[in-house]
A and B are shown apart, each in its own frame.
Chain A
Amino acid sequence: NAGVTQTPKFQVLKTGQSMTLQCAQDMNHEYMSWYRQDPGMGLRLIHYSVGAGITDQGEVPNGYNVSRSTTEDFPLRLLSAAPSQTSVYFCASTPMSGGSYEQYFGPGTRLTVT
């Protein structure tokens, strides 16, 4: 299994540009989520999904959109990038069956908005 994969690893955007951060998992996990990590702030939840077709907002959802059309993929869209969205973005997945709810993280995407 590849686990949780994220692309791209690095990205530089100009203010106002849009882009999609890709996240995929091959473990058939129902739950997927996006976090951002900023110095001094720790990791904060952006959006999450408990299954295909179901998404919900986390702690810091403004400026981001998500959709979940398949169990495997959970892309994060920035519609109009702002410098405040410069951060490291992590995607995670969790099995909802089995009871452990252990979370598995991808390697991250480093985004710079100028």
Chain B
Amino acid sequence: KQEVTQIPAALSVPEGENLVLNCSFTDSAIYNLQWFRQDPGKGLTSLLLIQSSQREQTSGRLNASLDKSSGRSTLYIAASQPGDSATYLCAVNGANSKLTFGKGITLSVRP
């Protein structure tokens, strides 16, 4: 059974800092990995999707990498801003497009 882990559960950083959010998964047989952002009381916004054959994807200040063999992905946020404060969820897409989610990392960026 696929398990997805995101550690730490919460992170607080000063504005402007570059930061890395980690995600690990136990079964490397995946189709893709998706990073989502969730604001309090809101739905999930897709940030980046990395296919299993890719190593990384970039969107603006965000860069996500994937090392399938070691079961790891990272989300890099450059020059963090208070507006980046949210919960970041990692989800692995396995058989039959079933997503297995991590529990998320709640990020707080202090002005």
Interface of A toward B, CB cutoff 8 Å: 31, 33, 35, 40-45, 48, 50, 56, 58, 90, 92, 94, 96, 99-108
Contact B42 A107 (CB under 8 A): yes
Least distance between A21 CB and chain B CB atoms (Å): 14
Majority-rule SS of B interface residues: strand
In the complex the two chains form, what is the Cα distance from A39 to B43 in whole Å?
A: 14
Taking CB atoms, residues of chain A closer than 8 Å to B46 are: 102-105
Q: How far is the CB of B85 from chain A (nearest CB, A)?
A: 18
> Across the interface, do B98 and A100 meet the contact criterion of CB distance under 8 Å?
no
List, in ascending order, chain B residues with CB within 8 A of A101's CB: 31-32, 93, 97
Q: How far is the CA of A103 from the CA of B35 in the complex (A)?
A: 11
Q: Please give the residue numbers on chain B whose beta carbons come within 8 Å of chain A beta carbons, in ascending order.
A: 31-32, 34, 36, 42-44, 46, 49, 51, 89, 91, 93, 96-99, 101-104
Least distance between A50 CB and chain B CB atoms (Å): 7
In the complex, chain A residues whose CB is within 8 Å of the CB of B97? 31, 33, 48, 50, 94, 96, 101, 103
A108 touching B103 in the complex, CB below 8 Å, given contacts A50-B96, A58-B98, A101-B93? no
B98 touches A108 (CB 8 A): no
